Structure 1
Amino acid sequence: MHAPGSLQLYLTWQEASRSPCLLELARDLLADAAQLADRSESPRQRRRIDVVSAELLIRDGNVVAAANLIGPDSAEGATELEKLIFVRLLLAQDRPRVVDSLLAHLETAARRDSRLGTLITILTLRVRAAEARNDKAAADRLIVEALALAAPQRSVRSLLDEGPGLVEILQRTTPMSVYARPYLDKFGAFSEEAGETRTQGPLSKTETSILELVAQGMSNREIAHRLSITVGTTK
């Protein structure tokens, strides 16, 4: 069995982060992937695990441990996904000006290649950086652009992933964008859903199997075939 790639691991963690009852399983999967990476004796595989582990630590508020894990030079030779996680570390360290420099190159490439999902993520990170610099005018301008791109694509996750810190900015920009209020409502619904999830019981056998297969890099269709369930159930 091969260790899953950074994208597969990251997506698994992103899904788990929206559902608190899945967090422990996500941690276990990450630990298993780390063991597989160590057995492979592949520095690249090990780096992938470290980068995704750092994302988990950042979300847990353990910034020092995340910095010790991926180091100050993580942007050198990194994939785009790894650079975005490094940006989150820089924001957690209150280094917004370094973030601006790093994101400028990523934004240029995303615009050139018309990769809207990546561009929305970059813009929301730039919003956080501008807010950290207390440049509210820039933060407002960037969030309005991000909303204009995200709404037609029904892209909710890119904004939800940046957490409640965007709520105040969305409230401030409600007069500037017709999309701000609907996204505020989505944040509210997400918070309620997360609260309900905490009161739910343990995962079912099927839910556990789905998450394990996602971590192995299988597609929704492949998971559905393996477990004899519908593709819709895997989502």
Structure 2
Amino acid sequence: MPHPLTRTTLFVVIAAAHLCAIILLLLGKSPAVPGSEDRTLFVFDVAPQPPPAPILSTPPKPKTIDLRPAGGSPRPDRVVTPPADARPPTRFDTTLTDDAPPAPIVVAGDLPGTGIDLTPGGGRGDGTRNGSGNGSGVGNGNGEGAGAMWIGADWIYKPVRELPYYWPRAKEARRASAVVALDCVLPKPGKPERCTVVGERPVGLGFGEAALGLSRHFRIRPVTRDGKVVRNVTVRVPVTFKTPYVPVP
């Protein structure tokens, strides 16, 4: 039979242990449980090293073939400098000669005056040639021969009365004088075709357009050579505008 003192002592020890456990739970601390510490094992993926860059081999330089002939360097190419553009002539007159081109530009006449005054224009050319003749003997001689005779274009009808209807309407043009040159193709006697402005002084006041409008009334006698009409020749027609307005004093 156990001793009563021993049983009481054991009860007190157990009660004290429970009391300590309750106190630790209330304080939020759990009793330390002996044991080995957990160690976390970290696994790392190690990327492989990139392969080394390929070594590019330098291609061999192509061989240069010298095409120069033996004995020295070839002569340098000659540089041809194009001629500078010719400045437009200040005068509209063109003289015909015997060796004129097939389609010469001739003057039909100027158009000065209070409105326009179509002065007949044109020209003629004479030439001399050398000749030789044989007689009963043998001999040479010089003589005059008739060359080609050009007769310039002339006016059939001068549109003097029509000019006021084509005068530029700009205020600056009312007291201005102007000169316009037209190039027209003359296929036959009468009305010219395809007139274009090739010269105008002053510019910007509308006199070029006025001369083009007036050209529909032109009636021109064409160029002749040795009495024959030269068709589709370009005729240059200078038109002079002189202001009909008198300044008010």
TM-score range, shorter-chain basis?
under 0.3
Greater fraction helix:
1
Greater fraction strand:
2
Of structures 1 and 2, the larger Rg is shown by 2
